């Protein structure tokens, strides 16, 4: 059962006529995690924003995007707004950009949840507090009373994951959610995404150029290059038996980096002394 069906998605810049994504089709199965990988500029983020219908003005799209039975491309902006957050939840690369800098994090959460569920302040606080504790945010109330700039990137990503827990969307789209974070925060945030999947059984699109993270979290992988899907398959097949030379290049680069890291850290040699 597919929760999302994207067929013949084309994305272009109406000002220059340049085609950015010529023709993409893919599915996300119920409860599974699809990773979209590729170097920057390959069309990963454009694809996610096209699903959310959040590409910048001047960027046009055609094709069909079915969320269950509903074709998102046919909805009005008002109807689409109801879907965003409640059924389609996007977690972006830079947490700072997701929040209004002029109001507290709590005000942002309350506005979002009141809009989707009509809950009052108390209900929202109770639910968010529980969700924030479950993603290891120590002081939920202090966090909610903070402004975005007072929190680290890792904390803001966790706040967004906590919000997703409360919204219980059908599909979570995570667009390079760890890129702006340091290594320790990256690891912790990825763990929270894995927990999010376990707890909610939701489907996920996880965009990343970090194949180590992809290997941990994804069931299936799409490889994009210059706006086109050049390969797709199960995570195991992509890592062990990639067909396309570009995929093999990505995988071998990752393995070389791992080896290099082990050598710098004295890796295997330490064991023998």
Q: Which domains does the chain have, with CATH numbers?
A: 2-268 (3.40.50.300)
> Which tens digit of pLDDT belongs to each residue from 190-200?
888 988 888 88
The percent of residues above 70 in pLDDT, for the chain, comes to: 93
Query: What is the structure's pLDDT at 265?
Result: 65
Q: How far apart are CA 180 and CA 81, in angstroms?
A: 27
Q: List all residues 6 or more positions away from 263 whose beta carbon is below 8 Å from its beta carbon.
A: none
Residue 147 gets which letter from DSSP? -
> Which tens digit of pLDDT belongs to each residue from 35-80?
999 888 899 999 999 999 999 889 999 999 999 999 999 999 999 9
DSSP 3-state assignment of 193?
Answer: helix
Query: What is the structure's pLDDT at 269?
Result: 47
Q: How far apart are CA 10 and CA 8, in angstroms?
A: 6
Q: How far apart are CA 49 and CA 8, in angstroms?
A: 15
Pairing status of strand 203-208 against strand 228-234: unpaired
Query: What is the structure's pLDDT at 148?
Result: 93
Average pLDDT over residues 110-138: 91
The pTM score is 0.87
Own/partner contacts of 251-260, CB < 8 Å, gap of 24 or more, are 251/211, 254/211, 254/212, 258/212
Radius of gyration of the chain (CA): 19
Average pLDDT over residues 136-149: 92
Which residue do the tokens 């606080």 mark?
Answer: 125
> Which tens digit of pLDDT belongs to each residue from 213-271?
899 899 999 999 999 999 999 999 998 888 888 888 888 876 666 666 666 666 554 44
Average pLDDT over residues 139-168: 92
Residue 190 in contact with residue 18, Cβ under 8 Å?
Answer: no
Which residue, 57, 61, 58, 32, is CA-closest to 48? 61
Structure tokens given for 164: 């997703």
Sign of CA dihedral 222, 187, 199, 50: negative
């Amino acid at each position: 059962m597919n929760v999302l069906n994207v067929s013949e998605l084309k994305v272009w810049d109406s000002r220059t006529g340049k085609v950015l994504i010529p023709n993409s089709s893919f599915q996300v199965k119920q409860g599974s995690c699809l990773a979209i990988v590729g170097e920057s500029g390959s069309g990963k983020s454009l694809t996610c924003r096209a699903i959310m219908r959040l590409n910048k003005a001047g960027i046009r799209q055609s094709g069909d995007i079915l969320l269950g039975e509903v074709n998102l491309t046919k909805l009005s902006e008002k109807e689409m707004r109801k879907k965003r957050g409640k059924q389609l939840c996007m977690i972006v690369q830079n947490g700072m950009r997701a929040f209004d800098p002029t109001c507290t994090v709590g005000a942002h959460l309350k506005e979002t949840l009141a809009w989707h569920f009509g809950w009052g302040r108390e209900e929202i606080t109770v639910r968010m507090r529980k969700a924030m504790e479950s993603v290891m945010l120590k002081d939920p109330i202090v966090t909610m009373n903070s402004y975005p700039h007072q929190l680290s990137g890792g904390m803001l990503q966790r706040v967004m994951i906590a919000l997703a827990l409360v919204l219980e969307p059908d599909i979570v789209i995570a667009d390079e959610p760890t890129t702006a974070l340091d290594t320790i925060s990256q690891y912790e945030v990825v763990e929270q995404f894995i927990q999010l999947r376990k707890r909610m059984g939701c489907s996920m699109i996880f965009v990343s150029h970090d194949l180590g993270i992809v290997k941990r979290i994804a069931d299936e992988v799409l490889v994009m290059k210059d706006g086109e899907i050049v390969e797709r398959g199960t995570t195991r097949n992509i890592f062990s038996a990639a067909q396309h030379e570009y995929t093999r290049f990505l995988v071998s680069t990752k393995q070389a980096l791992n080896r290099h890291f082990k050598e710098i850290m004295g890796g295997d040699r330490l064991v023998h002394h």
